[in-house]
Chain A
Amino acid sequence: MARFVLRRVVLLFAVLFAVTFLGFAAMNLLGDPLVNVVGVLAELDCEGIEAGTVEDTTVDAASRDCDTVAAAKAQYHLDRPVPIRYVLWLSDMATGDFGTSFQNDQPVSEVIREKLPETLILLTMAQIVSLGVAVPWGVIAAYRANRAFDRGSTVASFGLLSVPNFALGVVLLYLLALRWQIFPSAYESGSFGGLVFSLVLPAVTLGLPLAASYQRLLRTDLITTLQEDFVHMARAKGLPPMRIMFRHALRPSMFSVVTVFGVSTGALIGGSLVVEQIFGIPGIGREIVTAVVRDDFPVVLAIVMLVAVTFVVLNFLVDLLYSWLDPRVRAR
C-alpha cells in the first residue's frame, strides 16, 4: 500500500512537471508576455534609447516608460531566458506564491479561491446527476435487455451523446428556466441553497451526456454479470430480482463506470468552460477562457495545474475504489 501511494505521488509530480512545462512553454513562446503586462510599451527599444542609438519618440518621458518596462521584466522574470523563468516560476510555486494576474494584479491564489468553489460544486453536482441517472437507467435497461425500454434507451443515450452541451444547455435554459420558470435562468450566489438550485440546470447539462455513456457501460457490464453462475446461485437461493441486482450484480459491474468516472473529469472541466459561459457562472471555466484570451499566463498555468492535480488525485481514488469493488484486486 505504501509503495502504491508513493508511486502515485511520483506520478503526480511527473504529471505536474510535464503539464506546467508544456503550458509554460506555450504561453511564453506563442505570445510575448511582456505585451500583456505593459501593453504597447513592450515595443520600446529601451536598450537602444539608453545607448542613444534610437530616437526617443514616446510622449511620456522615455526614461520613465523604460523604468516601467524594466520593473515589469524584473517582477515576472521576463529578462531571463524561458527555461530559467520556468525554474524561477516553479520555485515560486513551491513556496506557495502563484504569482499575480497580468490583468488586474490580483494574486492568482485569490482568483482561484474566489472561482473554484462554484466550479467544484458544479462538477460534483454534474457527477451526482450523471450517476444518479445512469445507475437506475442502466439497471432497468439490463434487467429488460433488448426489450422496448432497452432499445429506446439505446437511441436516447446516443442522442444525448451526440448533442453538443451548448445546445443541450440552451434548450434546458429555454424550457425549464424561461418557459416554465422552474429553475432560475441566472447564477445566484445569495445563499448556498440558492447557489445549488441555480446550478441544477448547468449540472444537468453537463451530467446528462455523461449519464448516457455511464448507462451504456453499466448496461453492458450488468448483462455480462447477470449471466454469471453466482447470479443463478442467488436466484436459486430465492432472492428477489432487484435484491440480486443491487446486492450481487451491481458492484462487480461498476468497473467500467468507475474508470470512465475518473477519466471523464477532464471532459467535464472542458464542458464547464461552455456551460459556465451559457449560464453566466463566474467559475474556473470562465476564468480560464478570459485568461487564455488575454495571455494571462500565471492564471492559466495555475488553473491547468489545478486540473492536473484533480485529475491525478481522482484517478488515484478510482484505483482505491477498484480494490473496494473487488477484493481480488487487493490480493495482487
Chain B
Amino acid sequence: MVEQASAPAPLLSVRDLHVRFPTERGAVNAVNGVSFDLYEGKTLAIVGESGSGKSVTAKTLMNLLPRTAQVSGEVTYDGQDVRALAAAGTKHFFGVQMTMVFQDPMTSLNPVKRVGEQIAETLRYHLGRSRSEALEEAEELLEVVGMPEPARRVSQYPHELSGGLRQRVVIAMALACQPRLLIADEPTTAVDVTVQKHLLDLLDRLRRDRGMSMILITHDLGVAHGRADDVAVMYAGRVVETADARTLFFDMRHPYTEALLRSIPRIDDPVHHRLDPIPGRPPELIDPPEACAFAPRCIYAQGDCLGGVPELSGLVGLHRFACLHPTGTERGMAAMSANRAAGVTAAGLPVADSGGGG
C-alpha cells in the first residue's frame, strides 16, 4: 500500500468464510463461503431464516464460536486479520473496536451484577477508568440510550428492569468504549413489538451520531428496510443475494428474497389476508446435496437447479445473486410459466396455476 486509494478501503471485509461444526451425525456446514464488505459509517443487514448461518457468521466475526468449530476464510478489520488477533488474545480489540449486541436482553446481562457495574466494567478494563469515573460514565451512557432515571438504574439489578430497558442497558454496554463496528444480532426479536421500533431507531441514531458501522442481523426484512445501506440475504450458510437496500427491495433477483418479502404482512393488505409462507423447511446442513439449497422450496426450480450449487454472480459490492432462473428476468419468467404449466417444479414442489394458495 503506497498511498490511500481514492475509493476508501472497507472497514470490515469478509472473504470466503466457512464454518463447520463436527457432530456425531457428521459435520454441520453452517457457513459456506460467505463474502461481504462493510464500509465506515454504513449499515449492512444480514437477513435469513433461523439456521441460515447469519448468527454463526456474526459469532465468527466476534470470535465467540465454541472451540470445536472449524473456521476458514479471511476476516479483515481495518487492515488487520481479525482471526489472528483473536488467536493471539489481543487485548482491547473486541469490545473496543468491534462489539456485539445479542438477541435476548433477558439473558445477556449477568443476573447477579448491578447494571451500572456491568457497563462500568468495560470502561475500567479497556480504558483504565477508576471505579467512580466508570460508574459516572455508565450513568451518562444510560442517558444516551434513553433510559429513564439513569441515576437510579445504575444500582439496579437486571431483573428489576423490563426487557426493553434491559436491551437499552446492553446497547449502552456495547457503546461504552466507542466501538467503530457494532454487530447487532436480532436486537429486537425478543422484545415487545412496541419497543422494537424505539430500539431500532435508537440504534440507527447512535450509529449516525457516532459514525459507527453496523451489521444488523435479522430474520425480518422489514427491520432491514429503511435502516440498512446494504442487505445480504443468507440461505443455508450462503449469501444468495446481496445489493444496496433499494435494489434489493425493489429489484430483487433471487426467488428466496422475493419469497421473504412476500411473507411480510403489509399494512395495506386486506383484513384477514393470508400471508404467503415459504413452503417447506430450511435444508439440513449436514452433508447437503450438490444443488441449489433453495430449489426444493422454489417455485422457479428447473432441472439445472438440481445439478449444482449456483455461484454468486457479479462483483463484490454490486448487486450479486446466486440463481440460474432469477426472478424479474426472462429466464425466470420462462421457468415460472413452465412450472405453472406442469403444476409441479423440477424438485417436486406442487405449483398452483395462479400463484398463491388463496
Secondary structure at the B interface, as helix, strand, loop or mixed, is: loop
Determine the chain A residues whose CB is within 8 A of the CB of B103 once the complex forms. Answer: 229
Determine the chain A residues whose CB is within 8 A of the CB of B102 once the complex forms. Answer: 229, 232-233, 236
Binding site for A on B (CB under 8 A): 59, 62-64, 89, 91-96, 99-100, 102-104, 107-113, 121-122, 125-126, 157, 159-160, 170, 173-174
14 contacting pairs across A/B (C-beta < 8 A): A229-B104, A232-B108, A237-B125, A237-B173, A238-B93, A238-B94, A238-B122, A238-B125, A239-B121, A239-B122, A247-B121, A327-B111, A327-B157, A328-B159
Determine the chain B residues whose CB is within 8 A of the CB of A50 once the complex forms. Answer: none
Q: Is A294 at the interface (CB under 8 A from chain B)?
A: no
Give A228 to B109 CA distance when docked, in angstroms: 9
A236 to chain B, nearest CB (A): 4
Instruction: Kindly state the interface size class of chain A when it binds its partner.
Output: 20 to 34
Partner of B64, one of A232, A240, A251: A232
- Counting residue pairs across A and B whose Cβ atoms lie within 8 Å, the total is 79
**B125 near A236 (CB under 8 angstroms)?**
no
Q: Is A230 at the interface (CB under 8 A from chain B)?
A: yes
Told that A236-B64, A237-B125, A243-B125 touch, could you supply 8 new A-B pairs with CB distance under 8 A? A229-B104, A230-B110, A235-B64, A236-B100, A238-B92, A238-B125, A248-B110, A331-B160
Give A327 to B111 CA distance when docked, in angstroms: 8
Which residue from chain A places its CB closest to the CB of B183 in the assembled complex? A236
Interface residues of A in 85-143 (CB under 8 A from B): none
Binding site for B on A (CB under 8 A): 228-230, 232-240, 243, 247-248, 251-252, 325-328, 331
**A248 near B113 (CB under 8 angstroms)?**
yes
Partner of A236, one of B95, B107, B113: B95
A302 to chain B, nearest CB (A): 41
Give A327 to B122 CA distance when docked, in angstroms: 22
Give A269 to B94 CA distance when docked, in angstroms: 50
Determine the chain B residues whose CB is within 8 A of the CB of A240 once the complex forms. Answer: 89, 91
**A236 near B99 (CB under 8 angstroms)?**
yes
Partner of A237, one of B59, B99, B157, B160: B99
Give A326 to B345 CA distance when docked, in angstroms: 57
**B94 near A237 (CB under 8 angstroms)?**
yes
Determine the chain B residues whose CB is within 8 A of the CB of A237 once the complex forms. Answer: 94-95, 99, 121-122, 125, 173-174
**B112 near A233 (CB under 8 angstroms)?**
no
Give A113 to B16 CA distance when docked, in angstroms: 75
